[in-house]
Every structure is written in structure tokens, then in C-alpha cells.
């Protein structure tokens, strides 16, 4: 029973971070200077929202006793606290950090040993991490020459 409660708590934490990641991608889209990057960031925001809905469905099937209202009304205090260390970071860096945090939470969930298949979620997020790292590298490379 304690293992299941911990699992539910990790899923709830995942929901919070998915919402944060979605907001980071939407902000990055607003700041993007090319239509290709805007599409990429909007697509990633949509993906985070789909994953959010998947996790929310899992919680509902577990009959988890959690406040859906508090999840839907995102906890802005936690967003502020989690973003203090990245206050001066670019929107792209925030997306990268948000995705790394998501992978860390998935690793915590996998460590619980509960038979759950999140491979599709993880693969999408890891692909975005790779693309974001390339974007950041390109930006850094351009700055060296100007």
C-alpha cells in the first residue's frame, strides 16, 4: 500500500512538472524568431499536454484521492520557486531543464518497480532534449562568431 501511495505521489509530481514544461514551451514559442522553431515549440507543448492527460487518466483509474481542482489550477507558487534558479536562463534553456526534470521523475517512478510502461513518453521527451541541446549549441556557436 505504501508503494502505491508513493507511486501516486510521483505521478502527481509528474503532472505538476508536465504543466510547467508545457508553459515553458509555450513561452519559448512566443520568443522564437522562425516559424520552424515556433512549430517545434508548439508541438512540444502539445505533447506535454497529451502526456499530462495520459498521467491524469492513470491517476483516475487508480482512484487516487487527489484534488483535480488543484492540478487544473496550476500551483504558481511552486512554479516561482522552481524557476528562481533559472531566472536568467533563456526560454530554450528552461525547456531543456524542464524536460530533464521530467526524465528524472520518470526514473524515480521506474525505481519503484511498478509495472508501468512509460517508454513512449520518455522517448518523446528525450528526443526533445536532444533537439533543444542542438538548438542551444547552435546559438552558442553563433555567439562565438559575433
pLDDT digits (tens, 9 = 90+) for 74-123: 455 455 444 544 455 688 899 999 999 999 999 999 999 887 889 999 99
Q: How would you write 60-82 as a 3-class SS string?
A: HHCCCCCCHHHHHCCCHHHHHHH
* CATH number, residue 140: 1.20.1260.10
pLDDT given for residue 129 in this prediction = 96
Banded model confidence at residue 126, pLDDT cuts 50, 70, 90: very high
Backbone CA torsion sign across 36, 34, 131, 144: positive
Alpha helix positions (H), the chain: 2-31, 35-61, 68-72, 76-83, 91-111, 119-145
Each residue's pLDDT tens digit, 31-45 = 988 899 999 999 999
Dist. CA 70–CA 105, nearest whole Å: 20
- For the chain, how many structural domains are there in total? 1
Residue 37, domain extent? 2-145
- Model pTM? 0.81
Amino acid at each position: 500500500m505504501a508503494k502505491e501511495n508513493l507511486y501516486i505521489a510521483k505521478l502527481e509530481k509528474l503532472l505538476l512538472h508536465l504543466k510547467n514544461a508545457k508553459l515553458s514551451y509555450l513561452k519559448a514559442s512566443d520568443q522564437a524568431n522562425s516559424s520552424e522553431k515556433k512549430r517545434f515549440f508548439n508541438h512540444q507543448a502539445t505533447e506535454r499536454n497529451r502526456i499530462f492527460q495520459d498521467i491524469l487518466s492513470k491517476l483516475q483509474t487508480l482512484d487516487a484521492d487527489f484534488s483535480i481542482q488543484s492540478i487544473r489550477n496550476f500551483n504558481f507558487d511552486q512554479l516561482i520557486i522552481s524557476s528562481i534558479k533559472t531566472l536568467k536562463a533563456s526560454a530554450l534553456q528552461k525547456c531543456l531543464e524542464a524536460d530533464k526534470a521530467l526524465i528524472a521523475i520518470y526514473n524515480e517512478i521506474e525505481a519503484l518497480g511498478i509495472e508501468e510502461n512509460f517508454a513512449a513518453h520518455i522517448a518523446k521527451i528525450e528526443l526533445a532534449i536532444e533537439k533543444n541541446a542542438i538548438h542551444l549549441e547552435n546559438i552558442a556557436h553563433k555567439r562565438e562568431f559575433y
